[in-house]
């Protein structure tokens, strides 16, 4: 079986990959958008004889539909397969040979340069992967970028016992509320109903406030809802959560409200009226919490 370092050596030895073309030449429209977004009023980047800000280097080649698989993809896949599923960028350095001017057609190519590890980091054990991308105008190198990222094995999965670290914010559960948490564990959002008058109720309790019946049952909610109110928590730090994080009051069509985190989107995207769907998150070996994610994603 090939080790990660053997694979790395092979991929590094391959050297620079094929030159990839870019869709558009260096152009004044993008320069104007970029300088306005950055608030950069340097006159060198304006007018008929404008040059491109050097820091835009990556802008000319950024493309969501990556043209072809490169050596990096093989390395990243191998690291993921080995359990290093987390990823975080750690370094990015640019070197510029000269200014670029509108109309220039660029190509770029990437070579892998280094794999180090395994290293112990605050995030967990991981490997640092480094590559070098060079931009060319015809055959003239005009700029370079050294990029490094850490592929790491998230902490919870690496404990010696194979158990996750206990989540610090456990709910209290008693015989009136156990059905809800059991439902969450099996991927159901259970809302209490009165066994006599049928009224729905959340949070649940032992007696129906409408008819005083102690007969209780529950319905399985469809799992969609709308944000009724929400907060973005910044300070102070809260155990078990990275800040900022979002908590919302969600109104569900069954007719009750429920509180939960909003995940899988940026806090700035959250708003009152936003439609969300339930998603279940495992917090530790015992607890699964129902949370909410944007419906349109």
Partner 1 sequence: MSTAVAGIGATEFSKDSGRSELRLAAEAVLSALTDAGLTPSDVDGLVTFTQDANDEIALARELGIGELTFFSRVPYGGGAACGTVAHAAMAVATGAASVVVCYRAFNERSGRRFGQPNPHLGGDPSSLGLEMSWHVPYGLMTPASWVAMFARRYMHAYGATSEDFGRVAVAMRRHAATNPAAWFYRRPITLADHQSSKWIVEPLHLLDCCQESDGAVALVVTSAERARDLPAPPAVITAAAQGSGPDQMMMTSYYRDDMTGLPEMNTVGRRLWEISGLRPSDIQAAILYDHFTPFVLTQLEELGFCAPGEAKDFIADGGIELDGHLPVNPHGGQLGEAYIHGMNGITEAVRQLRGTAANQLPGPANILVTAGTGVPTSGLILSRA
User: What residue ranges bind partner 1 (CB under 8 A)?
Assistant: 167-174, 176-177, 202-203, 228-241, 244-245, 247, 249, 256-261, 267, 272, 283, 287, 289, 291
CA-CA distance, 193 to 215, in Å (whole number)? 9
In angstroms, give the least distance from the CB of 262 to partner 1: 10
**Toward partner 1, which CB reaches closer, 150 or 274?**
274
Which residues, other chains included, contact 88 with Cβ-Cβ below 8 Å and sequence gap of 6+? 123, 149, 150, 152
- Give SS3 for 32: helix
Alpha carbon distance 262, 266 (integer Å):
9
Cβ closest to partner 1, residue 30 vs residue 232: 232
Helix (H) or strand (E) run with residue 294 in it: strand 288-294
Task: Tell me how far, at minimum, the Cβ of 155 lies from partner 1, in Å.
Answer: 19
Residues 164, 169: Cα–Cα separation, whole Å: 14
Alpha helices in 60-103 (DSSP H): 71-81
Q: How far is the CB of 9 from partner 1 (least distance, A)?
A: 45
**3-state SS, residue 38:** helix
> Closest CB to partner 1 among 100 and 208?
208
Residue with smaller CB distance to partner 1, 99 or 181? 181
Beta bridge partners of 226: 251, 275
CB of 231 to partner 1, least distance (A): 4
Q: How far is the CB of 170 from partner 1 (least distance, A)?
A: 6
- Which is nearer to partner 1, 116 or 185 (by Cβ)? 185
């Amino acid at each position: 079986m090939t080790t990660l370092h053997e694979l790395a050596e092979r991929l590094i030895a391959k050297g620079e990959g094929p030159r990839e073309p870019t869709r558009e030449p260096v152009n004044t429209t993008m320069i104007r958008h970029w300088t306005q977004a950055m608030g950069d009023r340097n006159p060198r980047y304006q007018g008929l004889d404008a040059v491109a800000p050097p820091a835009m280097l990556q802008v000319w080649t950024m493309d969501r539909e990556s043209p072809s698989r490169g050596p990096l993809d093989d390395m990243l896949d191998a690291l993921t397969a080995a359990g290093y599923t987390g990823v975080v960028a750690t370094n990015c350095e640019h070197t510029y040979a000269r200014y670029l001017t509108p109309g220039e057609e660029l190509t770029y190519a990437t070579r892998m340069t280094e794999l180090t590890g395994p290293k112990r980091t605050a995030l967990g054990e991981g490997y640092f992967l480094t590559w070098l991308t060079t931009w060319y105008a015809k055959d003239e190198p005009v700029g370079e970028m050294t990029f490094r990222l850490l592929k790491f094995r998230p902490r919870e999965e690496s404990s010696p016992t194979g158990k996750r670290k206990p989540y610090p914010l456990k709910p209290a559960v008693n015989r009136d509320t156990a059905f809800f948490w059991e439902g969450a564990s099996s991927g159901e959002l259970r809302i209490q109903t009165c066994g006599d008058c049928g009224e729905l109720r959340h949070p649940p309790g032992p007696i129906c406030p409408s008819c005083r019946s102690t007969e209780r049952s529950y319905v399985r909610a469809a799992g969609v809802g709308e944000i009724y109110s929400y907060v973005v928590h910044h300070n102070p730090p809260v155990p078990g959560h990275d800040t900022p994080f979002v908590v919302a009051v969600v109104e569900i069509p069954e007719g009750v409200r429920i509180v939960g985190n909003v995940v899988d989107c940026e806090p700035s995207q959250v708003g009152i009226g936003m439609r969300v769907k339930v998603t279940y998150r495992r917090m530790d070996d015992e607890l699964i919490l129902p949370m909410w994610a944007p419906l349109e994603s």
